[in-house]
Structure 1
Amino acid sequence: MLLLVPADALRPRRPDAHFAAEADAARALGIKVALVDHDALTSDRADEAVSRVPADDDAVYRGWMLRGEQYAAFSAALVGRDVNLRTSAEQYRCAHELPGWYAAVEPLTPRSAWTVGDDRAAFDRARVELGPGPAVLRDYTKSMKHYWAEAAFIPELDDASAAWAVASRFRELRADDMAGGFVLRRFEEFTSSEVRTWWIDGECVLAGPHPDTPDQVPPDPDLAAVRPLVAELKLPFVTVDLVLRADGRWRIVELGDGQVSDRPTTIPAETMIAMLYGARVEDKL
C-alpha cells in the first residue's frame, strides 16, 4: 500500500502536521508514504500536485476534503504515473456527497430533499417536497452546525421567508466552498453523542467518538440494521456517523469517504494505519 498525505504548505518535504502521525505510523509498518500538494489539487494543477508520487497499484489518500471534480482530476493524474487509488472517482463522489449515499441508507437516516444549485426557486421546491415542520440545512458535503440558529436550523419549513433567510446565511458562510446545492433534512431529536464508525469493503473495523467530541465516550451502536445497507453501497473505505434518536433507534447522520474523514484524537494513528493496511483492530462492538 502507498499512503498519500498532504505536504506542509511551508515545508513541502514534510507531511502536513495534521497527518504527520499517520505518515509516521505508516513508515513504521513499512508502508511507503508520498506527499501531495493540496493547494495545487484545489487549484486545477493536479499533475503538479502528484509530481513526486511513485508508482503503486494500491494507493490510499488521507488528507483534506476535495470536491468531487478535484478528486477525479487527482485520480486521473495519478493514473498517469501508474498509481491506482483504492477509491475511484465515482466511489469518492458517492461517499462524499449526500445524494450519492442517501437512497442506500434512507430507512435509517432523516428524510431529505435537495436542490441542484442554490437559487430560491429550487430551494422552495425542496422545502415544499419535504413538507411542514422543522429541518436542518446543509449542502451536499457539509453543514454549518456551529452557526445553528442562523445558518443550520429551520424551525418551520412552511415559513418561506424565515427558511430562505437561513439558507441565504448558509450560502454566505459557505461562500466558494458551497458543494452541489441545498439539502434539507427533517429534524429529529437525538439523545447521545455521535459515534464515528469506520468501514472497509462493507465491514465495520473500528468505532469511536466523533472528532468534534473526542472525549465523550459514545454508547456502543447496534449495527445489525446498518451493516447490510453500508455493504450494499460497495464502497472501499467509508465512515458512518451514528446517533441515538429519542425513541432509542440508531440513526445515520452522515456517511463520508474515509480518506477525508477526520480521525478523533483518541484513536491512535497506528490503529488507523493498521486498519488500512489490512490488519483488523479488535472488534469492541
Structure 2
Amino acid sequence: MLLIVASDPLRPRHPDAHFAPEARAAREAGVEVAVVDHDALTRGDVSRAVSRMTTEGVAVYRGWMLRSEQYAAFADALARRGVSLRTSGEQYRRAHELPGWYPDLAELTPRSAWTVGTERAEFDRARRALGGGAAVLRDFTKSMKHHWHEAAFIPDLDDGDAAWRVASRFLDLRGDDLVGGLVLRRFERFTTAEVRTWWVDGVCVLVGAHPDSPHDTPPEAFDAGPVSGAVAALGLPFVTVDLALRADGVWRIVELGDGQVSDRPSTIDPAALVDVLRRGS
C-alpha cells in the first residue's frame, strides 16, 4: 500500500502537520508515503498536484476534503502515473455526499429530503416532503452545526418563512463552498456524544470518539453490529460511520463519510489507523 497525504503548503516536500503523525506511523510500519499538493487539486491544477508522485501501486489518500469532481480528477491523474486509488471516484462520491448513501441507510438514519439547486421553491418542496416538526439543515457534505441556531436548527418546518431564514443564513455562510443542494434532516434527540467508527471493506475495524469530542470515549456497551450489514452492503472500501444513541435507546447513523477525508480524533493512535488500512484489499 502507498499512503498519499496532503503536503505542507510552506514545505511542499513534507506532509501537512495535521497528517504528519499518520505519515510517520506509516513509514515506521514500512509503508511508503507520498505527498500531494491539496491546494493545487482544489484549484484544478491536477498535474502540478501529483508532480512529486514517483511510485506506482495501490494507494490510500489521507488529506483534506475534496469535492467529488476534484477527487475524480485526482484519481485520473494518478492512474496516468500508474497509481490506483483504492477508492474510485464513483465510490468517493457515494460516501462523501449524503444522496449517495442515504437511500441504502434510510432506516438507520434520520429521515431526509434534499433540493436540486438552492431556490426557495425547491427548499419549500423538500420542506413539505419531510413534513412538520424540527429539522437540521446541511448541504450534501457538511452542516454548519457551530452556527446551530442561526444556520442549522429549524424548530418547525411548518413555518416556511422562519425555515427559509435559517436556510438563507446557511447559504451565506457556506458561500462558494456549498456542495450540491440543501438537505433537511429530521431532528432526533441524542443522549451521547457521537461515536466514530472506521470500516475497511465493509468490516468495522476501529471504534473511537468523534473528533469534535475526542475525550468522550464510546460507551462500553457500544456495538456496531446492528448497522454492519447495511454498511457492508454499500460495497465501499474505506468509510467512517458516526453514530449516536437516540433518546429511545437506539443507535442511529448521524453521518457516513469517505474515510480518506475523515478526521482522526487525537485519542486514536495514528499507528492503529495505519495498521487497519494495511489490511485492506
Verify same fold: TM over 0.5: yes
Residues 211-235 of structure 1, C-alpha deviations (whole Å, 9 max, x = no match): 0000112214222220100011000
Q: CA deviation at 1:47?
A: 1.3
Residues 68-122 of structure 1, C-alpha deviations (whole Å, 9 max, x = no match): 0000000010011011000000000000000000011111100000012111111
Unaligned residue ranges in structure 2 (runs of 5+): none
Q: The residue matched to 2:117 in structure 1 has which SS? A: coil
Residues 107-147 of structure 1, C-alpha deviations (whole Å, 9 max, x = no match): 11000000121111111100000001100000000000010
TM-score by length of 1: 0.96
CA distance in 2, matches of 1:96, 1:213: 21
Q: The residue matched to 1:18 in structure 2 has which SS? A: coil
**1:248 aligned partner:** 249
Answering whether residue 133 of structure 2 is matched by residue 123 of structure 1, we say no
CA distance in 1, matches of 2:196, 2:54: 32
**1:283 aligned partner:** none
Answering whether residue 195 of structure 2 is matched by residue 195 of structure 1, we say yes
CA distance in 1, matches of 2:271, 2:205: 14
Amino acid at match of 1:234: G
Amino acid at match of 2:123: F
Q: 1:139–1:178: 8 Å Cα contact kept in structure 2?
A: yes
**1:271 aligned partner:** 272
| Aligned residue runs from structure 1 range 131-170, under 5 A | 131-170=131-170
Q: 1:54–1:83: 8 Å Cα contact kept in structure 2?
A: no
**2:23 aligned partner:** 23
Q: 1:221–1:242: 8 Å Cα contact kept in structure 2?
A: no
State the superposition RMSD in angstroms. Answer: 0.9
Residues 145-173 of structure 1, C-alpha deviations (whole Å, 9 max, x = no match): 01000000000001010000000000111
Q: The residue matched to 1:231 in structure 2 has which SS? A: helix
CA distance in 2, matches of 1:109, 1:50: 37
**2:3 aligned partner:** 3
CA distance in 2, matches of 1:235, 1:247: 30
Q: CA deviation at 1:13?
A: 1.2
Q: The residue matched to 1:171 in structure 2 has which SS? A: helix
Q: CA deviation at 1:37?
A: 0.3
CA distance in 2, matches of 1:9, 1:55: 21
Q: The residue matched to 2:105 in structure 1 has which SS? A: helix
Amino acid at match of 1:87: T
CA distance in 2, matches of 1:30, 1:186: 46
CA distance in 2, matches of 1:218, 1:270: 20
**1:61 aligned partner:** 61
**1:51 aligned partner:** 51
Q: The residue matched to 1:254 in structure 2 has which SS? A: strand
Q: 1:140–1:183: 8 Å Cα contact kept in structure 2?
A: yes
**1:204 aligned partner:** 204
Q: 1:242–1:253: 8 Å Cα contact kept in structure 2?
A: yes
**1:34 aligned partner:** 34
Matched length: 279
Deviation larger for 255-264 or 24-33: 24-33
Amino acid at match of 1:259: Q
CA distance in 1, matches of 2:275, 2:223: 24
CA distance in 1, matches of 2:225, 2:50: 40
CA distance in 2, matches of 1:208, 1:248: 19
Amino acid at match of 1:166: V
Residues 235-269 of structure 1, C-alpha deviations (whole Å, 9 max, x = no match): 00000000000000000000000000000000011
